[in-house]
Structure formats: C-alpha cells, structure tokens
Amino acid sequence: MTALLEIEDLHAGYGDHEILRGVGLRVDEGEIVTIIGPNGAGKSTLLKTLAGLIRPTAGSISFRGRTLAGARPDAVIRLGLCYVPQEANVFGALSVEENLAMGGWVASGAREARVREVLELFPALAGRRRQRAGSLSGGERQMLALGMALMVEPALLLLDEPSAGLAPALQRLIFDRVREINARGIGIVLVEQNARESLRLCRRGYVLAMGRTQAEGPGTALLEDADIRRLYLGG
Amino acid sequence: MSAQYLFNGIVTGGILALPAVAFSLLWKLLRFPNFAVSAYLTVGAFAALTANRGLGWPLASAWLGALAVTALVAWLVDRVTFRPMRARRPFSLAIASIGVTFVLENVIRFVWGNDFRAYDVPVTRAMTWAGLRIGREQLDILGVAVALMLLAQIFLTRTRLGIAMRATADNPPLATVKGVPTERVIGLATLGGGALAGGAGVFLGLDTSIDPLLGAGLIISVFAAAILGGIGSAPGALAGALIVGIVEEVGTLVIPPTYKSAIGFFIILVVLLVRPTGLAGART
C-alpha cells in the first residue's frame, strides 16, 4: 500500500496557542481512517490544518508524494484533498444546484455528469435542486455537504463529525453513504464523536488527546482495548 | 398632483436602487456598511462633469467614463484602505469608510470647488401624459436603472462568478475551502459596486445639481433602502429603494421638504424596530 497522506510531528494552533503538539498519522490509498479523542484534543484543528486554513508551525504533511504544509486551501483542494467542515458546511442562501456548482469550483469539465452522480447517491436531493440549502433538514444538509465534496472527484475526504446532531436512523444512512463513497476508492479521514460506530467502520483508527497521537491501530483493536474503552469510549 | 409625486418617487427610487444594491451586497460580502459609497456617487458625478464640460463628451459617453473611473476609485480605496483591515471588526471598517468619504469629498472640493454645477445637455421639453409631467431625462434614467438592475440580477444568479459572489457573501470560510478565489471575487464586487454608485451619481447630478456633497445627501436614503430590503439581497434593495424614493417624494405633501431627509432616518428606525431583517430577511 502506498501512503496517500502522511503526517509527521505536526504542530499548529491559533496565534501563540499551540493546539497540535506532535501529531503523526498515515492514510493509505482508499482507506478509511477514524480519529477519536476527547473534546479539545485537536481533531478539528488537525483537519483545518490539512485543509490549508491553519498554517502549521512545525512538522510535515505529504499528500500523494507532495509537500502540503503551508499550502493555501485552493491548492489543497486542487490536489484532491477535500475538507467537509462540521458546521456551516453548505451555502445556506444558495440552491442545492448552486451549492454543488460551488463544491466543484476547482473541477474542470463534465460538471453535469458529476451532479447526476451525486444526485444518484443522494436521491433525497434530486427533487430539491432548486431549493435553498438553508431550508433543508439537517440530514439533507449533511448529504449536500458530502455531495459538494464529491464534485471535485477527491482522492481523500476529510469529514468532521458528519453524523453530529442527526437522529440514529440518519446517522446510519450517512455512515452507509460514507462506506459507499469509500468503495469507489476514495480515502476518508473521519473525525467522529460517535466513536464506536466510526471505529467499526474504519480500517484503522487513531486516538488523539492533548494535541498528540496517543494510540493507533485497527479499529476493532482500539474498540477492544481496555484503556481506550475506559478513557475515550465511556467504559 | 399626487400621481406626479408618485412618479417622481419612482424615478428617485430608480436612482437610489443602484447605490442601494451596491451598498447592500458589499455590506453582506465584506461585513461592514461601506459609507464611502456616498463618495463614489460624488466621484461619478464629477468624473462625468469633467468628461462632459471639460472634454466636451456627450453625456452618454461621459456616463460610461464615469462608470469606469468610479469603479477604479472604489477598487483602489479597497486595496489601500479596506483590504489591509479585512480581519478587523466591522465597526473599525465602517469608521474607516467614513474617513475615506471625507478624503474623497475634500479632494473633489479642492479640485472643483464648492459651486453647484450642471451637465451640458440639450434642453428637452417634458412630455405630458395622463396629467403627468414626464421629463425625457427621467425616462432615460429609469430605463437605464432598470436595465442595470436586471443585468446585476442575471449576473448574480446565472453566472458562475455571480454565484461565487453570493457564496462568498454567505459563508466566506467555506468559499475559501472550496477554492473560490475570494479576494478576486471581492475585487470584482468592488468594481461593480463602484460602477453602479458612480452611474447613479451622474443620474442624481442630472436630476438635481452637482456639488461635493451630492452623495452625502443621499447616503441616509441608500442606507434606509438597503436595511429595508434586507442586507445582501439585490431584489430587496431594489424594492427598498423604490419604497424609500416614493415615501420621500410623497411625504413632502405632508411634511415640509426641509425635513425630507428625516424620512430616511424614520424608515431605518421603523425597520429596525419592526423587522430588523428587512423585506427579504427572516433568514439568519
């Protein structure tokens, strides 16, 4: 397996406030990797740093063999690394169709075909092409956010809590779709509060705490580890 | 008689709509009320005056020249003043925009003086239709204003760049993540906003007279129209401008014209008390 994304000793934060204090992580081609950890562990900061929104102060990020640390967000998405934020991840004032168009801003050509693919994956959106995204339900908004990310034919998706705030049935639907997207060969980094479900979904998982990688291993192994269960999975 | 006031109000509203749309969209996009739009009106009026009186251009060409000059001035102001302050609080930027207004106004005063001036245009006779006195220029102004509003709306809803502009206004961090060149979008919006304001300044000078305080006299009405329409909505700003224009003109039937400018303040007050999100609002 070749590494799609490889992070070593990454440090980043806001101003003088360092949040990531040495994160190491590796994602192989077409793999789902889950990151769990307590609130404030730096999970979202890590994704934002990968997306180019926060400049790392030290460490290295390599994606598809290219150095990514310090790259601007538009350069990052052009390389096929696509970040889906947890909140405000759609343009509320724009229609579903316009949102998809903006999702594919850096993509070239065959936009209509990709829109069709996305709507096949999320049929709930098909009847709402002209509806304002702000008027969609929470689940539909999450589907749209995933759909927007697919518009650029990404190699790796960074998903920040895609199931947050959704009813259990919708959470399952989102996880199913994530599996389906992954089955197309798209790598996925999943940050989740629903740690059990997401560890079952992934091939490998990382435990992040206090800005450092504390543990890593196959998802099922992490689920069974007594310390991790006690510390991060509520027993 | 009152129908005449209504018609004049519609023309005033048409003029008002151009800077109101610019003011409203730039507010939403840059997250501060850019009061320098009032100076852009004056810049446009004087740019056309220079082309028209100084270079002897017909007013139509002078108007086009004014669009270009004002767009450029607005862009330069953004580069020099607002861009370095992008991350500051909206309040600081709003104050800076008032500062810019003083600078531009006084540059104009220094170069052209304080006198009231007028364009060199052929005298036309007003038509009378159904008891209304309709000036030829009023019709031209209304026609061009409507056409510009339509163009702006088509641009914002039908073109990729226009949709990107709305996306950037709606959610700047997400636009950045998606690779939308937000600074370029802001630059383009500034050029467009400056052009709209400059064009309206010429209309205002044509409808009334030209002096360095031309825009300053209108900014409260522009502000009222934008708030009434709902910040960030182009159709809202157009509707707001028409309502403000009509209320201001028809209002002079009831209150002395001296207090005309108070009507704008009154509308702002009522909107903020009753429906702070404006006509197109209710979305947060």
3-state secondary structure of B84: helix
Note whether residue B266 is domain-resident. Answer: yes
Q: Which of B185, B260, B283, B276 is nearest to B16 (CA)?
A: B260
Q: How far is B276 from chain A (nearest CA, A)?
A: 18
pLDDT tens-digit readout, B147-186: 999 999 999 999 999 999 999 999 999 999 999 999 999 9
Statement: residue B246 has pLDDT above 60: yes
CATH class of A3-232: alpha beta
Rounded Cα distance between B62 and B64, Å, is 5
Query: How many Cα atoms within 13 Å fall on the side-chain side of residue A40?
Result: 2
Asked whether the beta carbons of B229 and B240 are under 8 A apart, the reply is yes
Chain B hits for A90, CB-CB cut-off 8 Å, are 171, 174
Statement: residue A65 has pLDDT above 80: yes
Note whether residue B281 is domain-resident. Answer: no
Statement: residue A1 has pLDDT above 80: no
- Rg of chain B (C-alpha set): 18
Count of domains observed in chain B: 1
Statement: residue A2 has pLDDT above 80: no
ipTM: 0.93
- What pLDDT, on the 0 to 100 scale, is given for residue A113? 92
Distances in whole angstroms, Cα of residue A60 to Cα of each of A35, A66, A71, B224: 18, 10, 12, 52
Contact B167 A91 (CB under 8 A): yes
Question: B215: which DSSP letter?
Answer: T
- What pLDDT, on the 0 to 100 scale, is given for residue B283? 47
Instruction: Tell me if chain A has a CB within 8 Å of the CB of B176.
Output: yes
pLDDT band per the 50, 70, 90 thresholds, residue A235: low
Note whether residue B239 is domain-resident. Answer: yes
Note whether residue B81 is domain-resident. Answer: yes
Can you tell me the mean pLDDT for B46-71?
A: 96
Higher pLDDT, B279 or A43: A43
Closest residue in chain B to residue A47, using alpha carbons only: B177
Q: How far is A46 from chain B (nearest CA, A)?
A: 15
Extents of the domains making up chain A: 3-232
Instruction: Tell me if chain A has a CB within 8 Å of the CB of B180.
Output: yes
From A44-48, A146-150, B4-8, the region with the lowest mean pLDDT: B4-8
- What pLDDT, on the 0 to 100 scale, is given for residue B131? 82
Note whether residue B284 is domain-resident. Answer: no
Distances in whole angstroms, Cα of residue A80 to Cα of each of A35, A181, B141, B225: 20, 14, 49, 44
* Residue reference for tokens 């028409």: B242
Both tokens assigned to A211:
């800005």
Can you tell me the mean pLDDT for A111-137?
A: 94
Nearest to B170 among A74, A78, A91 (CB): A91
Q: What is the dihedral of CA A72, A78, A82, A86, to 10 degrees?
A: 50
Can you tell me the mean pLDDT for B189-212?
A: 95
Can you tell me the mean pLDDT for B245-249?
A: 93
**What is chain A's mean pLDDT, rounded?**
91
Q: What is the CATH number of the domain that holds B11?
A: 1.10.3470
Both tokens assigned to B176:
């950045």
Q: Which positions in chain A have a beta carbon within 8 angstroms of at least one beta carbon in chain B?
A: 51, 53, 73-74, 77-78, 83, 85, 88-94, 98, 101-103, 105-106, 134, 148
Closest residue in chain A to residue B174, using alpha carbons only: A89
Asked whether the beta carbons of B209 and B118 are under 8 A apart, the reply is yes
Contact B179 A105 (CB under 8 A): yes
Segments in chain B forming alpha helices (H):
2-30, 37-49, 59-77, 90-112, 136-158, 160-170, 172-177, 182-207, 219-229, 234-251, 260-274
Rounded Cα distance between A220 and A216, Å, is 11
Can you tell me the mean pLDDT for A125-137?
A: 95
pLDDT band per the 50, 70, 90 thresholds, residue B223: very high
Note whether residue B190 is domain-resident. Answer: yes
Asked whether the beta carbons of B4 and B133 are under 8 A apart, the reply is yes
**What is chain B's mean pLDDT, rounded?**
92
pLDDT band per the 50, 70, 90 thresholds, residue B143: very high
From A47-56, A106-115, A156-165, B216-225, the region with the lowest mean pLDDT: A106-115
Statement: residue B1 has pLDDT above 70: no
Statement: residue B272 has pLDDT above 80: yes
* Residue reference for tokens 């890590």: A46
pLDDT tens-digit readout, A30-39: 999 999 988 8
pLDDT tens-digit readout, A180-223: 999 999 999 999 888 888 888 888 999 999 999 988 888 888 88
Note whether residue B279 is domain-resident. Answer: no
CA A153 to chain centre: 14
- What pLDDT, on the 0 to 100 scale, is given for residue A117? 93
Rounded Cα distance between B238 and A101, Å, is 27
| All residues at 6 or more sequence positions from A198 whose CB lies less than 8 Å from its CB, including other chains | A34, A36, A175, A190, A192, A205, A219
pLDDT above 90 coverage of chain B, percent: 76
pTM summary value? 0.91
Domain that holds residue B64: 2-274
pLDDT band per the 50, 70, 90 thresholds, residue B112: very high
Long-range contacts of B189-192 (CB under 8 A, 24+ apart): B189/B25, B189/B26, B189/B29, B189/B165, B190/B26, B190/B71, B190/B74, B190/B75, B190/B78, B191/B71, B191/B72, B191/B74, B191/B75, B192/B22, B192/B71, B192/B152, B192/B155
Q: Which of B29, B34, B31 is nearest to B19 (CA)?
A: B34
Can you tell me the mean pLDDT for B2-17?
A: 91
Q: How far is B228 from chain A (nearest CA, A)?
A: 18
